[in-house]
Amino acid sequence: MDHYYWFALKSVPQVGNVTFLRLLAHFGSPQAALEASPEELAAVKGVSAAAARSIAGHDCRAQAEAECERVRAGGAQVVDILSGRYPRLLMQISDPPPFFYLMGTLDGSETAVAMVGSRHASQYGLCTATRLGKELAGQGVTVVSGMARGIDTASHWGCLKAGGRSIAVLGCGVDVIYPPENDTLYRALCEQGALISEFPMGTSPMPENFPRRNRIISALAKGVLVVEAGEGSGSLITAQYALEQGREVFAVPGNVTTSGSRGVNGLIKQGAKLVERVEDILEELGIVPLATHPQEQPPSFPLTPQEAELYALLCQGVLQIDDIIVQSALTAGEVSATLLRLEVKGIIIQLPGKRFAVV
Quick: pLDDT tens for 170-200. Answer: 999 999 999 999 999 999 999 999 999 999 9
Cβ atoms within 10 Å of 137's Cβ, excluding its own = 21
Q: Which stretch of 114-118, 267-271, 295-299 has the lowest confidence by average pLDDT?
A: 295-299
pLDDT at residue 351 tops 50: yes
% of the chain residues with pLDDT over 70 = 97
Residue 315 to residue 359: CA distance in whole angstroms = 9
How far is Cα 50 from Cα 70, in angstroms, rounded to an integer? 30
**Fold observed for domain 112-285:** Rossmann fold (3.40.50)
Task: Indicate the class that CATH gives domain 305-358.
Answer: mainly alpha
pLDDT of residue 64: 95
The per-residue pLDDT for range 123-140, each reduced to its tens digit, is 889 889 999 999 999 999
State pLDDT tens for residues 22-74: 999 999 999 999 999 988 998 898 888 888 989 988 888 999 999 999 999 99
Report the C-alpha gap between 73 and 232 in whole angstroms: 39
CA distance 129 to 228: 9
Q: Calculate ∠ Cα 305-310-311, nearest 5°.
A: 95
Calculated CA dihedral for residues 29, 33, 9, 56, nearest 10 degrees: 170
Tally of CB atoms within 10 A around 170: 28
Boundaries of every domain in the chain: 1-74, 112-285, 305-358
What per-residue confidence (pLDDT) applies to 293? Answer: 46
Helix (H, G, I), strand (E, B) or coil at 280: helix
Whether residue 295 is predicted with pLDDT greater than 50 in this model: the reply is no
- Rg over alpha carbons for the chain, rounded to the nearest Å, is 23
pLDDT one-digit tens code per residue, 145-158: 999 999 999 999 99
Cα–Cα distance between 201 and 309 in angstroms, integer?
A: 46
Q: Do the domains 305-358 and 112-285 match in fold? A: no
Let me know if 294 is exposed, middle or buried by CB neighbors in 10 A (0-12, 13-18, 19+). Answer: exposed
CATH code: domain 1-74 is 1.10.150.20
The H or E element that residue 187 is part of is helix 183-192
Is residue 63 a contact partner of residue 10, using CB atoms and an 8 Å limit?
A: no
